[in-house]
Amino acid sequence: MSKLGNGRKICHTHAEYTTGLFDSLFGGGESTKELSKQEGFTGILLAAAAADGHISEEEAQGLWTTIGRMKLFANFTPDKFNKMMDNLLKILKKGGPNMLVDKCVPAIPDSLRATAFANACEIVLADGVVEDEERTCLRNSRTVWKSPATRRWTSSR
């Protein structure tokens, strides 16, 4: 149960059932489309930034700086970037940082996995405070990584 702004309570179970019912009837809901490597990489950084429930200015700046300097995004137009972010934010809002990580990791090529994880760590450290939720998100995400380099790096921490 959650309280609405007016003090009334709503039951998540009923709301989720109704949403699920309409999604199955009208084709809405979660997309089964695979993410691009750009979406996967950005999603990992976004999940790290949002792990504690908010994105600080420093974390957002770290995300934009990382993406802006990568050749991976050289051909991205502002419109394409905005569409990508909208898609990633929908996943984040629906399932939280862990779901976003689960969906993004398979899209990242092995050659970029250690880079994505290292940059996610940098973003978590950007505001100078590592919240418990951020630490947990990084710990949970390391179990999903398949890259031997990433496993070596995270197992030593």
Domain 37-155 has CATH 1.10.600: no
The pLDDT confidence band at residue 137, using thresholds 50, 70 and 90, is: confident
Cα of first residue to Cα of last residue in the chain, in angstroms, is: 38
Three state DSSP letters for 6-71: CCCEECHHHHHHHHHHHHHHHCCCCCCCCCCHHHHHHHHHHHHHHCCCCCCHHHHHHHHHHHHCCH
pTM passes above 0.85? no
* Domain limits, CATH 1.10.3680, in the chain: 37-155
Q: pLDDT tens digits for 108-129?
A: 998 998 899 889 989 988 888 8
Q: pLDDT tens digits for 20-61?
A: 444 434 444 445 579 999 999 999 999 999 998 888 899 999
